[in-house]
Structure 1
């Protein structure tokens, strides 16, 4: 899959697109808290509170400058 250059979506980096993190997700508040902490600290990501997997932050993905097309939870390029 190729790298796609596109503008950032028109929403705050702290708010994931609902198709990537549903408003009904049972861990949504904990996920958003961990993501916000990573954004505030300028970190590349955080450990998912449910699975323990490393998740890239929207800040890291935005700094990278491209969308990889892999469905990242906090992709800042997914249009509303």
Structure 2
């Protein structure tokens, strides 16, 4: 995949990197991480399984130690 463009492929919200639906469509498949803008999610029920507290793929860069 080519270089990501802020505002098209992702945006920042409260220190979290949020991928857009455009990014997910370009990737071509669901990663099953409960992404907010996943166009492949079959129903909203899967969204309840994932949140920022129980998903290891979501990292708040403001809280991440270097």
**Number of residue-to-residue matches in the alignment:** 38
Runs of 4+ off more than 2 Å: none
Match of 1:66 in 2: 29
Q: Higher strand proportion, which one?
A: 2
C-alpha displacement of 1:46: 0.2
Aligned with 1:62: secondary structure?
helix
Alignment equivalent of 1:44, drawn from 9, 29, 40: 9
Name the TM-score, length of structure 2 as normaliser. 0.50
TM alignment of 1:1-80, pairs within 5 A? 38=7, 43-48=8-13, 51-80=14-43
- Structure 1: runs of 5 or more not aligned: 1-37
- For 1:75 and 1:60, locate their aligned partners in 2 and report how far apart those are by CA, in whole Å: 9
Higher relative contact order structure (alpha carbons within 8 Å, sequence separation ≥ 6) = 1
Root-mean-square deviation (CA), in Å? 1.8
> Please, what TM-score do these two structures have when normalized by structure 1?
0.42
Mapped partners of 1:70, 1:79: distance in 2: 13
Greater helix proportion: 1
